Structure 1
Amino acid sequence: MSKFKQLYKPLLDNAQWETPLSLAIEGTAFGHWLLEPNSLSRRLQRHCDEFTVSLIEQKKIDSTMLSADERELIGDVDCLLRKVVLMGDGQPWVFARTLIPLSTLTGQESDLEQLGEMPLGFRVFTDRSARRDALEVANTGTQAQPLWARRSRLWINNKPLLVAELFLAQAPVYSKEKQC
């Protein structure tokens, strides 16, 4: 699974994040996926018989490892870094990188550090206080062969975390079939 980190992390690192409005994606088939306000994991789960998460890496990182725009979104804070691949029927669909400030990992949210191979969305979106903002999108591929990504800040009990998700080539976001 380290190949995912080597291949796809640079795409997220170098993404030119833009607002969804500036890319005019609303109303498009892939736009429905990128603009999903609720759990992406739950939505992906509806498109396969077996939905799994493969934990690639989880470690604490110093705030100096954050980019300037990441610090702007979640603060100049030390974080728990979590990288996973979301898979449907054994096919890699999404490479995700989550930054969880250590200050978020307090109280009820201390369990976020123990998710292992459980989808983050399953935990976050069971909480009534969960919300998403600061949504940005990017095409990290080409016009002919797009690889869409999104980044958003999630809030749970008024505590932030930052999630970046890269939709891999086999993800249902690119399917011509009915999108749900």
Structure 2
Amino acid sequence: MKNRKHNSQARYRWLVKPLLSHAYRPWLINNQSLTARLQQRYSDFYVVPLAVNFLKPIRDEAAPLNLSADKIVLVRDVLLYGGQSPMVFAHSILPRKSLRGVWHDLGKLGNKPLGATLFANPKVKRTALSYKKLSPNHVLYQHAIQHLADKPASLWARRSVFSLNCATIMVTEVFLPNIICS
């Protein structure tokens, strides 16, 4: 029983280094704006909104935001495109209290990139990046592959928490295979 519990907890653990991430590593470890990098690389970069909903956070998202797992948060899912292909599945969560003040419009971004908003303000602080090789049983993997013709065995993701005053937002970026094929 103890071993099963340990394996369950390990499933939700994020890493401080993207071990054995190979071709994804340069994308994972760069802590600059992913939006800016994609815009530099692709003249036809664009964002496709998938969903904006009030939901409970995924099991491994509540603790880094100091939330209880039953709190409702605003969840925004988008695809970042370059070269007419999806490159990144981005998943952001904002606690309700963060929707007040300076970030009150973040839930209404539509097809505007969140990264441009976050990196435009020098007062925004960012935690260190954490990493995870997502397996098919992870919710984010399941959401990301819905937009792929071929289903990879795993997907690499990174996440961090941005803060400004008392407002926080967690951004998770799931790197799709196209990002290393282009």
* CA drift at 1:16: 5.1
- 2: CA distance between counterparts of 1:38 and 1:129? 15
The code of the aligned residue for 1:78 comes to: I
Q: Could you say which residue in structure 1 is the equivalent of 2:125?
A: 131
Q: Could you say which residue in structure 2 is the equivalent of 1:166?
A: 174
CA contact (8 A) 1:37 1:132 kept: no
CA contact (8 A) 2:131 2:156 kept: yes
Q: Could you say which residue in structure 2 is the equivalent of 1:11?
A: none
- 1: CA distance between counterparts of 2:175 and 2:167? 26
1:46 to 40, 47, 56: 40
- 1: CA distance between counterparts of 2:135 and 2:42? 25
Q: Could you say which residue in structure 2 is the equivalent of 1:69?
A: 60
1:20 to 17, 23, 28: 17
CA contact (8 A) 1:151 1:165 kept: yes
The code of the aligned residue for 1:170 comes to: N
* CA drift at 1:29: 5.7
* CA drift at 1:66: 2.1
Say whether 1:113 aligns with 2:104: no
Name the Cα RMSD after superposition.
2.5
In structure 2, the CA distance between the partners of 1:78 and 1:91, relative to structure 1 (3 Å rule), is same
Under a length normalisation based on structure 1, what TM-score does the superposition of the two structures give? 0.74
The code of the aligned residue for 1:99 comes to: I
Say whether 1:84 aligns with 2:78: yes
* Structure 2 SS opposite 1:70: coil
- 1: CA distance between counterparts of 2:12 and 2:79? 18
In structure 2, the CA distance between the partners of 1:166 and 1:114, relative to structure 1 (3 Å rule), is same
CA contact (8 A) 1:80 1:100 kept: yes
Long gaps (5+) in structure 2: 1-10, 137-151
* CA drift at 1:157: 3.1
The superposition leaves residues 63-112 of structure 1 with CA deviations (integer Å, 9 ceiling, x where unpaired) of xx224431111123421100000000211000111101111111121121
- 2: CA distance between counterparts of 1:158 and 1:39? 22
The code of the aligned residue for 1:73 comes to: P
Say whether 1:58 aligns with 2:52: yes
In structure 2, the CA distance between the partners of 1:32 and 1:132, relative to structure 1 (3 Å rule), is farther
- 2: CA distance between counterparts of 1:158 and 1:33? 29
Q: Could you say which residue in structure 2 is the equivalent of 1:8?
A: none
CA contact (8 A) 2:12 2:60 kept: no
* CA drift at 1:141: 6.0
Under a length normalisation based on structure 2, what TM-score does the superposition of the two structures give? 0.74
The alignment-based identity, stated in percent, is 31
Say whether 1:154 aligns with 2:159: no
Q: Could you say which residue in structure 1 is the equivalent of 2:143?
A: none
